[in-house]
């Protein structure tokens, strides 16, 4: 008779072989993955300026809101994450809800862009895009949806030009930079950014990846690859994974002057909520943000702590501020199942009620 130990060893051996076969099949699948599932929603370039491209999305709903919405993304990474794949695209969900969407892609700075300032990004690029959209539609106001640093830019823009903004939506947006929650906010306060700009001119995207990725929780990185192993034999899952990986590491460089301004003014001196931030010779006063505001943030956000995003209502001048927290992470707010079921519908519903 065979001992139970033999059967345990036999079972263990069979499981090991099966795992190896799954891994081999997975790597074969990985080698065949060529599709990039991002930016699949139909759109066209309607305006360009320097490296910037302004996209207008084709409508997907039978009825469309009369007031268009401009999406302003951060300078770090690209906005592809918002349209990462059609079955869970945040942008597609907004379009299906009847929103008329425009989106700014900042492009990839080159050495001649090292002297671009926050004034160039906010008072020139964003303002010119806004004016283009308003003229195209023959209207006086539009909605702005700002994401992460793009939300901070959108707040600053809305304080300077409140007459052009009907509604403002901020998502995972840092506002109060005094918090020490999250390694990124601790790291930013002690970064000698002026020395970096002196050395690089345009801060390389690889540096941004190295700096920011080391701040990601180890569990996030480990779980990501554990999930991958479970799905190695699924071409769709593999393609989705590779698309997300491409987005994470596809980081534009940062125009040195603007990068230094943002780090010094926000992380070092917290000027936004103090009313001391400047865009060129214009002072940013958040009390001028009097239009309706929807502030959406993620409970498990390790990049922009809740302590930075949540207090927005107490600093703006609007009497119509909706603050909503969702139990997701920074990226999950846009790509998770909850994003499809709850986040996008909230943005659509809130915007529709105030865009009549």
Catalytic site residues? 148
Q: Does position 345 have pLDDT exceeding 50, yes or no?
A: yes
The pLDDT of residue 295 = 98
d(CA 332, CA 300): 9
d(CA 65, CA 97): 9
d(CA 219, CA 217): 5
Per the prediction, the chain carries an average pLDDT of 84
CA distances in angstroms from 325 to 170, 299, 312, listed in the order given: 12, 6, 13
Q: Does position 21 have pLDDT exceeding 60, yes or no?
A: no
The full set of domains in the chain, from first to last, is 43-353 (3.40.50.1820)
The pLDDT of residue 30 = 45
Q: Poorest-confidence range of 22-36, 234-248, 316-330, 334-348?
A: 22-36
Q: What percent of the chain has pLDDT over 70?
A: 77
pTM, rounded to two decimals? 0.83
Chain segment 55-101, per-residue pLDDT in tens: 999 999 999 999 999 999 999 888 888 998 777 799 999 999 999 99
CA nearest 315: which of 184, 149, 156, 146? 156
- The gap from C-alpha 25 to its chain's centroid, in whole angstroms, comes to 34
The pLDDT of residue 189 = 84
Max intra-chain CA distance, the chain: 89
């Amino acid at each position: 008779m065979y001992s139970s130990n033999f059967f345990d060893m036999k079972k263990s051996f069979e499981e090991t072989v099966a795992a190896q076969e799954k891994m081999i099949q997975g790597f074969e699948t990985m080698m065949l993955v060529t599709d990039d599932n991002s930016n699949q929603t139909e759109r066209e370039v309607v305006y360009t300026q320097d490296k910037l491209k302004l996209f207008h999305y084709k409508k997907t709903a039978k009825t469309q809101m009369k007031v268009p919405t401009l999406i302003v993304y951060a300078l770090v990474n690209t906005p592809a994450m918002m349209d990462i794949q059609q079955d869970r695209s945040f942008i597609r969900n907004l379009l299906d809800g009847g929103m008329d969407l425009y989106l700014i892609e900042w492009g990839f700075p080159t050495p001649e862009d090292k002297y671009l300032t926050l004034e160039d990004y906010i008072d020139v690029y964003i303002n010119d895009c806004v004016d283009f959209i308003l003229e195209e539609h023959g209207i006086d106001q539009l909605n702005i949806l700002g994401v992460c640093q793009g939300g901070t830019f959108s707040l600053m823009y809305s304080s300077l030009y409140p007459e052009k903004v009907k509604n403002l939506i901020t998502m995972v947006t840092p506002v109060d930079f005094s918090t020490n929650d999250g390694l990124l906010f601790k790291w930013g306060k002690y970064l000698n950014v002026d020395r970096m700009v002196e050395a690089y001119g345009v801060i390389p995207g690889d540096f941004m990846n190295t700096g920011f990725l080391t701040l990601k929780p180890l569990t996030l990185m480990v779980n990501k690859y554990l999930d991958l192993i479970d799905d190695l034999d699924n071409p769709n899952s593999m393609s989705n994974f590779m698309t997300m990986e491409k987005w994470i590491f596809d980081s534009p460089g940062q125009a040195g002057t603007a990068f230094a301004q943002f780090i010094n003014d926000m992380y070092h001196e917290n000027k936004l909520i103090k009313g001391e931030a400047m865009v060129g010779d214009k002072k940013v006063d958040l009390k001028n943000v009097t239009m309706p505001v929807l502030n959406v943030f993620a409970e498990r956000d390790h990049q922009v702590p809740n302590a930075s995003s949540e207090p927005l209502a107490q600093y703006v001048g609007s009497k119509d501020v909706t603050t909503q927290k969702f139990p997701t992470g920074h990226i999950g707010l846009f790509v998770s199942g909850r994003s499809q079921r709850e986040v996008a519908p909230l943005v659509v519903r809130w915007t529709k009620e105030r865009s009549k």
